[in-house]
A = this chain, B = another copy of it.
Amino acid sequence: MDRHGYELPLLLAGAFRRIIDELHRRLAEQGHPDLRPAHGFALQAVGRDGTTVSELGRRLGVSKQAATKTAAKLTDLRYVTRTPDPADARAVLLTLTPHGRAALTLSARIFDDLHTEWKQSLGATRLSALEDDLTKLTPSSTPTPLADLPGWFH
């Protein structure tokens, strides 16, 4: 029953992908058909307190030029609004719209639902063990593990 070395990464990627796909399937069903995985992370990075473009770039681990583009997209999709920063005339404040806050809340709920489903499927003990083991395999070296995932592949 010993598996080849190349199988584990495939399993990890498959499981990750499955989860993200399912998340976005449910998000689409519930009023957020335009939200792409990359947007989800960006939305999370904007956060309920809002942020600036440069700070968004820092949080996502990408250049501020990339952050500018992402912010523009989120603005187009009506997930965030841009307002001038009263304290700094250079800066632009990105703030979640109600739609954006709803997406964040809904995502958290779906993630929890999925987590519960995994728990039912694997058992609480196995799931905890799986998470513990993955934690051990992924030392602290990865501060924001997903931030640069879109670009990292290249």
Contacts and interface: CB of A to CB of B under 8 A. Distances in A.
Given A1-B128, A37-B153, A142-B18, A137 B121 contact: yes
Contacts of A18: 137-138, 141-142
Contact of A138 (B4, B14, B107, B134): B14
A15 B137 CA distance: 6
A146 B118 CA distance: 22
A17 interface: yes
B5 A108 contact: yes
B126 A133 contact: yes
A113 B5 contact: yes
B115 A5 contact: yes
A15 B121 contact: no
Given A8-B134, A9-B20, A38-B154, 10 more contacts: A5-B108, A8-B19, A9-B146, A11-B134, A14-B142, A16-B16, A18-B142, A122-B133, A130-B133, A150-B154
Interface of A: 1, 3-20, 23, 36-38, 107-108, 110-116, 118, 121-122, 126-131, 133-138, 141-142, 145-146, 149-150, 152-154
